[in-house]
Amino acid sequence: MKHRIALLLVLTSLSASALAASPCQEKEQDIQREISYAEKHHNQSRIDGLNTALRQVRENCSDSKLKADHKQKIAKQREEIAERQRDLQEARKKGDADKINKRQHKLNEAQQELKTLESRDY
């Protein structure tokens, strides 16, 4: 029983520290995870590119800039959604079923991308 409690405390503290990571630290961890995946699949060009990205993050990343860039990406994606909605309305006015389906699909993709962006910290 004591071991279970100790294990629970360790796991809780580890998960809490993971949640407290800064956006730059999270980005660095994501890149390292991608490097591990690329290494498993022997993708040397991907590894090289990710190592370059990792160096740049370590040298230049600031949480405030990362958050500002992320907010800008979200704003741009919202503009994209508005444009897709206008395209869909135009297709509906013309009554072309094929174009309506294509425009609806593009709108759905843009909305999904926004959800993905909003679920991340950077």
User: Crossing angle of helices 44-60/23-40, nearest 10°?
Assistant: 170
Instruction: Give tens-digit pLDDT for 18-73.
Output: 555 899 999 999 999 999 999 999 999 999 999 999 999 999 999 999 999 999 99
**Separation between Cα atoms, residue 122 and residue 115, nearest integer Å:** 13
Residue 11's pLDDT band, with cuts at 50, 70 and 90, is low
Residues 6+ apart with CB under 8 A from 46: 34, 38
Within 13 Å, how many C-alpha atoms sit on residue 108's CB side? 6
Looking at residue 121, the DSSP 8-state letter turns out to be -
Q: What pLDDT does residue 16 have?
A: 46
pLDDT digits (tens, 9 = 90+) for 76-114: 999 999 999 999 999 999 999 999 999 999 999 999 999
pLDDT at 120 over 50: yes
Q: Are 57 and 25 in contact (CB under 8 A)?
A: no
